[in-house]
C-alpha cells in the first residue's frame, strides 16, 4: 500500500519487497531463532529459577529488589521480553509471597531489567535489526548497550520501586506457580555461564582476535568462531548439553522446548521483515532522499531527533519493536548525510522505542492484569518506569556521544 501511495511502478514493488525482506531477515533469522531457543531452555531447565534463588539468598530481604534486578539483567540477555515476562512472573510471585511484600515492589525491578535488555542489547530482535540496518558494530553496540543499561536499570528498578512500596494489588490472575525442586535445578555456575554463553563466546574470540592480530591463522579462526551466527550455533550445541542432557532431559523433550520457542517468535520475524520491506520501499521510491532533506532542516542533533521520532511512534503504535524498526526507515537517510556513530543511533532509537508504554501496548495489559492493578496504578508504575528507562537511555547515549568514548 505504501509503495502504491508513493507512486512506485507496479513491476518494481515486488523487487523492493523481496530485497527488503531478504536483506533484513537474511542476517537475522538464525540469531533471533537461536536466541529464542536459548531463552526458552534457560527458563525451562530451571536456570533462571536457580539464578533468582541464589541471588535472593545473597541479597536477603532488605535488598530483594536488587536481587530481582540482577536476575532480570542476567537472564534478560538471552530471554526475549514477552517470553521472559510470562516465564519469570512465577518467580516474582514466589518471592513476594515468601517475603510478604507487594507484587509491584518486588516485580517492577525485574521487569525494568527485562525491558532495558530487550530495547538496548543484542541479540534481541529490535537492536539486532537496527544494528544490521545501520551497519553498526555488534560488540560495540553490546558494550555501549550494557553501559547505558546499568544506570537505567538501577534508577527505574530498585530506586523507583521504593516509591511504590505501598502500592497494593487488588486482584491477581490465578495461575499455578510451577517451581522445580532444588535437586532438579542446574548449578549456579552452569546457569549463569549457559545464560551468558553468546556474550562470553563473542567477547573471548574478539579478545583473542585482537591479541593475535599478527597471526593470520589464529585471527581467522577466532573471527569465524565469534561471528554472531556461528556463536549462537555454538551456544545452542553447548547449552543443549549443559542445560538439557546433563540435567537428565531427553533429546525429544529439548526439541519440543525449541519448537515452542520458534512458535513464540514467528510473529516477531514477520514484523521485522515488514519493517525491512518498508525501509526498502522508502529507498527505492526516493522518499528517503526527501525525508533526509526535511530532517536536515530540523534544528536538533541527529541522536535526539531519532529518539524523538521513535518515542512519538511508540506512543502511536504501542509495540517497541514496531516503533523502533519503523523509525529506522525514517531516520536512515540521516545516516547517509551525517557523521553520527551508527552504534549510538541504534541505542538512541532503542531508548525511544521504550518511551511511555500505555494502553496500545500488550505489555501494559499483561502487567496490569497479572499484577492486579487499576489503570491509575498501572500508569503510575509501569508507564512511568518505561518513560524513566527511555529518558535515562537517551541521556546515556548523549553522554557517550559528548565524551567520544
- DSSP output for 213-272: TT-HHHHHHHHHHHSHHHHHHHHHHHHIIIIIGGGT--HHHHHHHHHHHHHHTHHHHHHH
> For residue 108, what pLDDT is reported?
92
**Is residue 87 situated within a structural domain?**
yes
The closest of 361, 362, 352 to 387, measured between CA atoms, is: 352
What is the b/e burial string over 216-246, where b = at least 16 CB atoms within 10 angstroms of the residue's CB?
eeebeebeebbebebbbebbbeebbebbbee
Give me the pLDDT at residue 186, please.
86
Are 350 and 324 spatial neighbours (Cβ–Cβ below 8 Å)? yes
Is 276 a member of any domain? yes
Cα-trace Rg, the chain? 21
pLDDT digits (tens, 9 = 90+) for 248-283: 889 999 999 888 888 877 776 777 677 677 767 766
Work out the percent of the chain whose per-residue pLDDT is above 70: 86
Give the residue with greater pLDDT, 360 vs 136.
136
Give per-residue pLDDT as tens, 19-60.
Answer: 777 776 776 677 778 877 887 888 788 887 787 778 778 887
Main-chain dihedrals φ then ψ at residue 299, nearest 5 degrees:
-85, 65
Length of the chain: 405
Does 376 reside within a domain? yes
- Interval 125-151 mean pLDDT: 86
pLDDT at 262: 83
- Structural domain count of the chain: 1
Rounded to the nearest integer, the mean pLDDT of the chain is: 81
* Band (174; pLDDT cuts 50, 70, 90): very low
Convert the pLDDT of each residue in 179-201 to its tens digit.
677 777 888 888 888 877 877 88
Report the alpha-carbon distance of residue 58 to residue 188 in Å, rounded: 12
Q: Residues 124-153: what's their mean pLDDT?
A: 86
Helix or strand holding residue 194 (H, E): helix 188-195
pLDDT tens-digit readout, 309-343: 888 888 877 778 778 888 887 787 777 667 788 99
- How many other CB atoms are there within 10 angstroms of residue 203's CB atom? 16
pTM of the model: 0.71
How confident is the model at residue 392, as a pLDDT? 95
32, part of any domain: no
Is residue 286, in this structure, part of any structural domain at all? yes
Query: Distance between CA atoms of 138 and 12, rounded to whole angstroms?
Result: 32
What mean pLDDT do residues 275-303 have?
69
Provide the H-helix boundaries in 286-361: 287-296, 302-317, 320-336, 342-352
Q: 4 — phi, psi (to 5°)?
A: -65, -45
What residue numbers bound the domain in which 102 lies? 2-26+48-129+145-183+268-403
Q: CB-based contacts of 51: which residues, under 8 Å, 6+ apart? A: 71, 74, 75, 188, 191, 192, 195
pLDDT for residue 1: 66
- CA distance linking residue 261 with residue 3, whole number of Å: 33
Strand (E) or helix (H) holding 195: helix 188-195
Whether 209 is in a domain gets the answer no
Q: Residue 385 above 90 pLDDT? A: yes
Q: Which residues contact 371 (CB under 8 A, 6 or more apart)?
A: 103, 104, 107, 169, 172
Q: Could you report the per-residue pLDDT of 336-352, keeping only the tens digit for each?
A: 667 788 999 999 999 99
CB 138 within 8 A of CB 122: yes
- Could you tell me if residue 220 is inside a domain? no
The gap from C-alpha 331 to its chain's centroid, in whole angstroms, comes to 20
Band the pLDDT of 175: cuts 50, 70, 90.
Answer: very low
The verdict on residue 195 lying in a domain is no
Flag whether pLDDT at 286 surpasses 80: no
CA torsion sign for 365, 371, 372, 374 is negative
Amino acid at each position: 500500500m505504501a509503495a502504491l501511495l508513493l507512486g512506485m511502478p507496479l513491476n518494481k514493488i515486488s523487487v523492493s519487497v523481496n530485497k527488503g525482506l531478504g536483506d533484513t531477515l537474511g542476517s537475522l533469522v538464525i540469531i533471533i531463532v537461536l536466541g529464542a531457543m536459548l531463552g526458552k531452555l534457560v527458563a525451562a531447565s530451571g536456570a533462571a529459577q536457580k539464578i533468582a534463588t541464589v541471588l535472593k539468598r545473597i541479597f536477603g530481604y532488605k535488598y530483594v529488589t536488587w536481587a530481582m534486578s540482577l536476575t532480570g539483567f542476567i537472564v534478560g540477555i538471552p530471554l526475549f521480553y514477552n517470553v521472559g515476562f510470562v516465564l519469570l512472573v512465577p518467580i516474582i510471585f514466589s518471592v513476594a509471597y515468601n517475603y510478604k511484600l507487594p507484587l509491584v515492589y518486588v516485580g517492577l525491578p525485574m521487569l525494568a531489567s527485562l525491558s532495558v535488555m530487550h530495547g538496548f542489547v543484542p541479540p534481541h530482535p529490535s537492536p539486532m535489526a537496527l544494528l544490521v540496518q545501520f551497519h553498526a558494530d555488534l560488540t560495540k553496540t553490546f558494550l555501549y548497550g550494557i553501559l547505558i543499561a546499568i544506570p537505567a536499570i538501577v534508577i527505574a528498578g530498585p530506586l523507583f520501586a521504593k516509591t511504590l512500596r505501598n502500592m497494593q494489588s487488588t486482584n491477581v490472575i490465578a495461575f499455578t506457580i510451577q517451581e522445580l525442586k532444588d535437586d532438579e535445578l542446574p548449578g549456579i555456575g552452569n546457569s549463569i555461564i549457559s545464560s551468558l554463553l553468546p556474550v562470553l563466546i563473542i567477547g573471548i574470540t574478539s579478545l583473542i582476535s585482537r591479541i593475535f592480530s599478527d597471526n593470520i591463522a589464529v585471527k581467522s579462526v577466532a573471527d569465524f568462531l565469534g561471528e554472531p551466527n556461528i556463536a549462537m550455533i555454538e551456544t545452542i550445541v553447548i547449552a543443549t548439553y549443559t542445560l538439557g542432557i546433563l540435567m537428565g532431559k531427553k533429546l525429544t523433550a529439548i526439541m519440543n522446548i525449541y519448537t515452542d520457542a520458534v512458535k513464540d517468535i514467528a510473529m516477531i520475524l514477520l514484523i521485522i521483515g515488514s519493517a525491512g520491506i518498508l525501509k526498502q520501499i522508502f529507498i527505492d521510491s526516493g522518499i528517503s532522499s526527501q525525508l533526509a532533506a526535511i530532517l536536515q532542516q530540523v534544528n536538533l542533533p541527529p541522536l535526539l531527533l531519532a529518539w524523538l521520532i521513535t518515542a512519538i511512534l511508540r506512543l502511536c503504535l504501542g509495540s517497541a519493536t514496531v516503533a523502533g524498526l519503523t523509525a529506522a526507515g525514517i531516520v536512515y537517510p540521516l545516516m547517509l548525510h551525517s557523521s553520527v556513530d551508527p552504534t549510538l543511533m541504534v541505542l538512541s532509537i532503542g531508548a525511544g522505542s521504550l518511551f511511555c508504554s500505555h494502553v496500545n501496548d500488550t505489555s501494559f495489559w499483561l502487567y496490569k492484569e497479572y499484577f492486579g492493578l487499576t489503570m491509575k496504578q498501572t500508569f503510575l508504575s509501569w508507564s512511568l518506569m518505561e518513560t524513566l528507562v527511555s529518558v535515562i537511555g537517551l541521556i546515556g547515549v548523549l553522554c557517550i556521544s559528548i565524551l567520544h568514548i
